[in-house]
Amino acid sequence: MVKATELKADQGDAKAQNNLGNMYDNGQGVAKDDAEAYEWYLLAGAQGDEEAKKAIELMERVLTPAQRAEGQKRAREFKPVKAAP
């Protein structure tokens, strides 16, 4: 399930990005990584995903400045991959 979610998230699917953020946020199938979770939530939230926007608000209360900066950097550098034909 993680691989399929990662693939869709890498392709720019907002729901998959939110789901992947949730996986990293809770350590479900992946190692817990708050900066990584924040990145995926930011990407999904930028596309209008309401669940991700709520998660961003919650995470911003507990992230260290370094984690926040790292997540924002990763989100800025994100480039979606094209789906295979």
d(CA 45, CA 17): 9
Residue 85 in any domain: the answer is: no
Q: Is residue 52, in this structure, part of any structural domain at all?
A: yes
Give the whole-angstrom CA distance, residue 32 versus residue 49. Answer: 22
**Sorting pLDDT into bands at 50, 70 and 90, what band is 1?**
confident
Count of domains in the chain? 1
Check whether 85 has a pLDDT greater than 80: no
> Considering the entire predicted model, what is its pTM?
0.94
Model confidence pLDDT, tens digit, residues 38-68: 999 999 999 999 999 999 999 999 999 999 9
pLDDT band at 83 (very low <50, low <70, confident <90, very high): confident
Domain ranges, residue 53: 2-77
Please indicate, yes or no, if residue 36 is contained in any of the structural domains.
yes
